[in-house]
Amino acid sequence: MKTELHAIQAEALAALKDVKTPDMLESLRITYFGRRGKLTDVMKGMGKLSKAERPEVGKLANEVRTTLTAAFEETTHTLHRQQQEQQLEREAVDITLPGRKPAYGKAHPVMQILERIEAIFRQMGFEIVTGPDVETEYYNFDALNTPADHPARDLHDTFYLTDGHLLRTHTSPVQIRAMENQQPPVRIIVPGKCYRVDYDVSHTPMFHQVEGLLVDTHATFSELKGILTAFARQMFGDQTQMRFRPHFFPFTEPSAEVDISCTVCQGNGCRSCGGSGWIEILGAGAVDPAVFEAVNYDPGEVTGFAFGMGVERIANLQFRIPDIRTFYENDLRFLRQF
């Protein structure tokens, strides 16, 4: 009987090596462990053994059983692993097939720039306020120290409505509206649409400006330089050089036009900057006392400064669109680029 047990073990272990499928394994299991299995038969024959033989053979039988059970288990695992490997191989995908991208839209390029400008000034404590596009002569010109026969009005090419209103030529009227509605300190920026009768590759009849105004008991021209320098360094990079040139605006005095070092040539001179190394980005100045008088602020008590910039112009420093009218065609091939 001992011999028989040894033979069964050797035979079963050999047979397991040839097992390729779970079905084969199962039939082999039945061959040995089934109700009529070979090992089962041997175990059943245990009863016929003598009392003396029984412990020894019983021990051996148990050992064989344990060995074979472990071997069957291992084969089960191996088969499972093999099967899984085969399945994973079958499941391999073509990684070059296109992904299923979630749709996403993009803000209009002018809005992207406008939002950046707003964010920089908000961080410096400026509040965003807005005003109407349809304005009166008073807010657009008179209150801004630009009376009817002022030559500066020629520079504006204003759209007039048939009812006598006009489309604001700049966002500056909101300065007046804001000061009429609040007492100093004032620290606002005014983004918005403006309009001028102009239509060519570098002008659209509607464009966007951001106006800024700071009024306080002690706001100085040096602070205007500080604010605008901080803005430009954040907007155009911390290496940006600034140039403040005297200029004329009816509603600021002293007034300045502000240049930054050319973003293309870093100030060395190139075609973008006409060789000068400088690019004009905004107009600014200390608030003219006449403007304070128009809103009943006492020019002896408060000082302030204002600035204004064209968003399309700043956008185009980056985008370099040859014909800026493209901004407002809303061609999706264009909008997707930004």
Partner 1 sequence: MNVTLNWLKNYIDFELSASELADRLTMLGIEVESVKHPGAELEGVVVGCVNTIKPHPNADKLVLCQVDIGKTEELQIVCGAPNVREGMHAPVATIGATLPIGLTIKRAKLRGETSHGMLCSEKELALSEDAAGLMELSTDIPVGTSLPTALGLDDTVFELEITPNRPDCLSLIGVAREIRAETGNPLKLPHVDFNEDETDIREITSVTIEAPDLCPRYAARVIRGVKVGQSPAWLQQRLESVGIGVINNIVDITNFVLMEYGQPLHAFDCHKLAENRIIVRRATAGENITTLDEMDRELTSDMLVIADAEKPVALAGVMGGYDSEITETTSDVLLESAYFNPSSIRATAKALGMSTEASYRFERGADPGIVLAALNRAAQLITELAGGSTCKGIVDVYPGQQPLTEIQLRPERVNFVLGTEIETVTMVEILKRLGFDVETSGRGQRVTVPTFRSDITREIDLIEEIARVYGYDNIPTTLPKGDIPVPAPNPSAAVRKCIKHSLLAAGMMEAINYSFCDPNCFDKIRLTADDPRREVLKLQNPLSPEMSGLRTTLLPSLLENAQHNRNHQIDTIALFEIGNVFIRKGAEKEPERVTGILAGQVGEGVYSNPYREPDFYDIKGLVERILEVCGIVDYTLEKTDAPTFHPGRNAAVLSNNKRIGIFGEAHPEVLENYDLPYKAYLFDFDMEALTDAAIFAKCFEPISVYPKVERDLAIVVDQAVLSDMPTELIYKTGGELVESVRLFDVYEGEQVPEGKKSLAYAITYHSATETLTDKAVNALHSKVVKHLNQELGAELRM
Interacting residues with Zn ion between 236 and 265 (CB under 5 A): 262, 264-265
Given candidates 47, 95, 98, 200, which one binds partner 1 under the rule CB under 8 A?
Answer: 98
Which DSSP symbol is given to 289? H
Contact call for residue 162 and partner 1 (CB under 8 A)? yes
Site track for partner 1 across 212-241, x = CB under 8 A: --x-xxxxxxxx-xxx-xx-----------
Q: Strand pairing partners for 200?
A: 203
The option from partner 1, Zn ion, none interacting with 248 (CB < 5 to 8 A, set by class) reads partner 1
Phi-psi region of 98 (alpha: psi -120 to 50; beta: other; left: phi over 0): beta
Q: Which residue is nearest to Zn ion (CB)?
A: 262
Segment contacting partner 1 (CB under 8 A): 21-29, 51-59, 62-70, 190-198? 190-198
Residue 223 backbone phi and psi in degrees, to 5: -70, -35
User: Per rule CB under 8 A, is residue 163 in the interface with partner 1?
Assistant: yes
Please identify, using beta-carbon distances, which residue of 75 and 316 lies nearer to partner 1: 316
Among the listed residues 337, 101, 307, the one whose alpha carbon sits nearest the alpha carbon of residue 212: 307
Could you say which of 34, 37, 205, 269 contacts partner 1 (CB under 8 A)? 205
Residues 25 and 12: their CA atoms lie apart, in Å, by: 11
Residue 90 near partner 1 by CB under 8 A = no
Cis peptide before 250 (omega within 30 of 0): no
Decide if residue 91 touches partner 1 (CB under 8 A): no
Going by C-alpha positions, the residue among 196, 200, 130 that lies closest to residue 160 is 196
Span of 37-45, 46-54, 66-74, 189-197 interacting with partner 1 by CB under 8 A: 189-197
By a kind-dependent CB cut-off of 5 to 8 A, residue 247 interacts, out of partner 1, Zn ion, none, with partner 1
Q: Which two tokens stand for residue 102?
A: 């979630």
* Least distance to partner 1, CB of residue 33, Å: 41
319 is a site residue for partner 1 (CB under 8 A):
no
Rounded to whole angstroms, the Cα distance separating 172 from 125 reads 19
295 touching partner 1, by CB under 8 A? no
127 is an interface residue for partner 1 by CB under 8 A: yes
In order, the DSSP letters of 35-96 are TT-HHHHHHHGGGGS-TTHHHHHHHHHHHHHHHHHHHHHHHHHHHHHHHHHHHHHHT---TT
* Alpha-carbon gap, residue 10 to 310, rounded angstroms: 92
- Nearest approach in angstroms of CB 64 to partner 1 is 49
> Scanning residues 262 to 291, which ones bind Zn ion (CB under 5 A)?
262, 264-265, 270, 272-273
Residue (77 or 245) nearer to partner 1, CB? 245
120 binds partner 1 (CB under 8 A): no
- The yes or no reply on residue 317 touching Zn ion (CB under 5 A) is no
Q: Residue 38 corresponds to which tokens in the numbers above?
A: 């070979």
Chosen from Zn ion, partner 1, none, partner binding at 110 (C-beta under 5 to 8 Å by type): partner 1
- Hey, is 34 helix, strand or coil? coil
To partner 1, the closest distance from the beta carbon of 1 in angstroms equals 57
Name every residue whose Cβ is closer than 8 Å to that of residue 266 and which is 6 or more positions away in sequence: 239
Q: What angle do CA 235, 239, 243 make, to 5 degrees?
A: 80
- CA dihedral of residues 192, 155, 318, 190 (deg, nearest 10): -20
Q: Identify residues 253-272 at the interface with partner 1 (CB under 8 A).
A: 253-257
Q: What is the binding site for Zn ion (CB under 5 A)? A: 262, 264-265, 270, 272-273
